[in-house]
Amino acid sequence: MSVSSKVLPMRTEEDLMIVRQTVKAWMIEQEFSLLEQTKLVTAISEIGRNALVYGGGGSALLEQLLENCRVGIRVTIEDQGPGIADIEQALQDAYSTGNGLGFGLSGAKRLVMDFDICSKPGQGTRIKMTVWN
Amino acid sequence: MNPIPLFHIGDFLLVSIPEDLSDSMVTRLQDSLSRKVIKLQIKGVLLDLSSVTIVDSFIGRMLGNMASITAMLGAEAIIVGIQPAIAITMIELGLGLNNIKTALNVDQGVIMLQILAADKAIDYVSKQ
Ligand SMILES: Nc1ncnc2c1ncn2[C@@H]1O[C@H](COP(=O)(O)OP(=O)(O)OP(=O)(O)O)[C@@H](O)[C@H]1O
Ligand SMILES: [Mg+2]
């Protein structure tokens, strides 16, 4: 169950900083460990930057979750860019069509508990990342 | 946004990297740092990450670049103050700081720089 949510733009690197800082503040409030904070914020940075660089920008939906007694945070970043034709390939370490190292997608997936990607050529990319405390 | 301050201590420069960096801040830092190294004839640079709360692949790559650029300009670069949560996250992300010298904190970094500078001087004299 989502108890509160917020939609933020993801069009510039300043937007990305605001998303990172908002999530960090929520996680401190919900008493996530420093390590969990660092992991999710880093994953957001990777996925957000991909949305800016490859997807031409988009938006971020931030949700505070409550399930039974557990609190969680879900971040959904989407863009209306070209999409990813071969997701398996894009998720491989060191695969990059740009000038990156190619650890963004695969690394972000390792950093969060639940990572869900939906992307189709011509229809953009949406990535959901969820963590529970 | 304000530029990142560079503190001049003797032959060394201390760069205190702020908590959360924008990409343009990192790019500007790279530029001002290299110019200062040349202008002030700096022998060593300490990049202090103790306040930093996030190192993603972009920032990680930039840190590596700054260390390599500093080395090309004849100065030593040492990254200090990486917090445990940052270290764990960087390794899980797949970012090792290969070929980069690190020290626990600024004090240890300064000692390391002094030793490296002294070694260099001895090396230089012995080749004369
Ligand atoms: N939102 C997106 N839209 C379209 N293509 C994408 C998107 N995100 C990732 N990709 C594709 O997946 C590849 C892998 O992404 P990943 O983030 O792992 O590496 P990178 O961005 O190239 O490098 P790094 O993140 O290490 O700087 C990218 O090179 C790009 O081709
Ligand atoms: Mg990337």
Q: How large is the ipTM?
A: 0.92
* pLDDT surpasses 70 at B12: yes
* pTM of this prediction exceeds 0.95: no
Report the number of distinct structural domains present in chain A.
Answer: 1
pLDDT greater at residue A64 or residue A99 = A64
Rounded average pLDDT over B38-57: 94
Ligand 2 centroid, distance to A95 Cα (angstroms): 10
3-state secondary structure of B54: coil
Architecture per CATH, B6-127: 2-Layer Sandwich (3.30)
Beta-sheet pairing, B12-16 with B44-48: parallel
Domain limits for position A33 = 2-132
CATH number of the domain residue A43 falls in: 3.30.565.10
Residue bearing tokens 């001087």: B121
Where are the domains positioned within chain B?
6-127
| Structure tokens, A73 | 């945070």
CB B56 within 8 A of CB B24: no
3-state secondary structure of A33: coil
pLDDT tens track for A10-20 = 999 999 999 99
Residue B1 is predicted with a pLDDT of 58
**Nearest ligand to the CA atom of A100:** 1
Chain-centre distance for alpha carbon A95: 18
Measured by CA distance, the residue closest to atom 30 of ligand 1 is A97
Is residue A54 within 6 Å of ligand 1 at its C-beta? yes
Probe site for chain A from B19, B24, B27, B93 (most A CB atoms < 10 A): B93
Rounded average pLDDT over B25-45: 93
Which of A85-94, B16-25, B89-98 shows the lowest mean pLDDT across its residues?
Answer: B16-25
Q: Which residues of A touch B61 (CB under 8 A)?
A: 100-101
pLDDT greater at residue B108 or residue B1 = B108
